Amino acid sequence: QQQVKQSPQSLIVQKGGISIINCAYENTAFDYFPWYQQFPGKGPALLIAIRPDVSEKKEGRFTISFNKSAKQFSLHIMDSQPGDSATYFCAARSNTNNNDMRFGAGTRLTVKP
Amino acid sequence: NAGVMQNPRHLVRRRGQEARLRCSPMKGHSHVYWYRQLPEEGLKFMVYLQKENIIDESGMPKERFSAEFPKEGPSILRIQQVVRGDSAAYFCASSPWDGTEAFFGQGTRLTVV
């Protein structure tokens, strides 16, 4: 059962473009939404995270937009670079069930030079 | 402060043998998650543990798989009588008591021959 639905599965963007990855959830008990970046052969690394009391969080070229009423959140990568090519996972943590964390299926981003 | 340590990094087992994967969480982290990742696929939740407790094992196959997180020592994911379909990368993540900022290990790549 996929509690966090992520799209698209793969994404190709030209260098300098904007990469947008979307996630949706159903469980209203989720209260913390991180994004992870994974390079081949490595473990996922925490990139940026947001809580539902804000609608947007920006760190450098990475921005999370959060829509609580729609139960959706997205990652925007501005000025995408070839070095951003990786797999990105959204996740959501429940404030019940002892802080269980669930992940989306991942988006494979390729940024072309 | 060392990160999440997983060992071994690579494990080769013959069909029918047992595989034992270890995960030492970050210092001060009391929550451990295990995930399985098949090539070109996302992270599949397996089990969520706190010290001496299994909180959620809904992602674990009913047979051959077990996990523990003892009071002392690393968390162990055990796969008995391995089959070729068990070949995958197994990642563990740890987080502090409030479930935020889960950090991943580098993974154990299991190959069943």
pLDDT in tens, A18-73: 999 999 998 888 889 999 999 988 899 999 999 989 999 999 999 999 999 999 99
- Position A99 scores a pLDDT of 61
Q: Which of B42, B95, B98 sits opposite A103 (nearest CB)?
A: B42
Residues of B in contact with A49 (CB under 8 A): 100-101
Residues of chain B with pLDDT under 50: none
Residues of A in contact with B93 (CB under 8 A): 43-44, 101
DSSP chain A: --SEEEE-SEEEEETTS-EEEEEEE--TTEEEEEEEEE-TTS--EEEEEE-TT-SEEEETTEEEEEETTTTEEEEEETT--GGG-EEEEEEEEESSGGG-EEE---EEEEEE-
Q: At residue A43, what is the residue type?
A: G
Instruction: Please judge whether A44 and B99 are an interchain contact, meaning their C-beta atoms are less than 8 angstroms apart.
Output: no
pLDDT in tens, A86-106: 999 999 988 776 567 788 889
CA distance B81 to B65: 9
Residues of A in contact with B91 (CB under 8 A): 43-44
CA distances to A15, A30, A74, B103 from A78, rounded to whole Å, are 10, 27, 13, 25
